[in-house]
Structure 1
């Protein structure tokens, strides 16, 4: 090591090893849908795609999870649910802890009015069921900053 080197050879090797390590697991995705089969299908798609996820069967349960788990990196919600539908859930999230939380709406029953309301709530994407799993995974990976 010369007087002009900032790092020793050992430090340089350690730094190279760290830089070559794969990305750490991403923040989990929160899947919100009152249809158990739809929730489980999305969870399976993400798990097989190497993305951690959590699920909630209602808007109320999603809000509780978001409060308890601030590390959630993205939320995917159905539009039509019980007391708190998808749009109301997003409004509440935007007004609280998840102002900047990326949100994707997945719905089998939507109209132009819903799409416009979603745009005003700054959703990342609005996908109609049946979903294209590859397209959804690509959008989620992009939003989480995970390489494909």
Structure 2
């Protein structure tokens, strides 16, 4: 996939302008992608947290990662911690958690990450994404 130009090939993508949604339930990913794109965002999805980790590190256009909390390979909290540790200095990626677990307790090192319960209030989620994308 070419991430250096818009679909018409005329303008370069802005670093940090894309969203990556990670959820190990593959059947929900197309719905999320469609929702995000309908809301005007450029979106990627991944059901594989290991692949998603590499995608974030190698795709500077990704500025927001929305992750499920409970996943088989790597939980969302560990994903956030690992990415924060691996991202180069000066590269900002915002994180948002989507979870079906209402009893979610986050460690103090990721307490700044907004948490949305599934099914998320779409207006609130869009607002959180816009805030995340607007931060340097």
Which category describes the TM-score, using the shorter chain as reference length?
0.7 to 0.9
How far, CA to CA, are the matches of 1:122 and 1:136 in structure 2? 17
Q: Can you give the 5+ residue segments of structure 1 that lack an aligned partner in the other structure?
A: 1-23
Tell me if 1:105 matches 2:94.
Answer: no
Q: Deviations over 1:19-57 (max 9, x none)?
A: xxxxx8771101000112322222111100110011111
Question: Alpha carbons of 1:53 and 1:75: their partners in 2 closer, same or farther (altered >3 Å)?
Answer: same
What whole-Å deviation, never above 9, does each CA across 1:76-96 have from its counterpart, x for those lacking one? 000111221111111100111
Q: Which residue is equivalent to 1:120?
A: 109
Select the structure that is richer in helix.
1
Match of 1:68 in 2: 58
| C-alpha RMSD over aligned residues | 2.2
Query: TM-score normalised to the size of structure 2?
Result: 0.78
Across the two proteins, how many residue pairs are aligned to each other? 120
Which blocks of at least 5 consecutive residues in structure 2 are unaligned? 1-12
Q: CA deviation at 1:124?
A: 3.3
More strand by percentage:
2
Any idea what SS the aligned residue of 1:34 has? Answer: coil
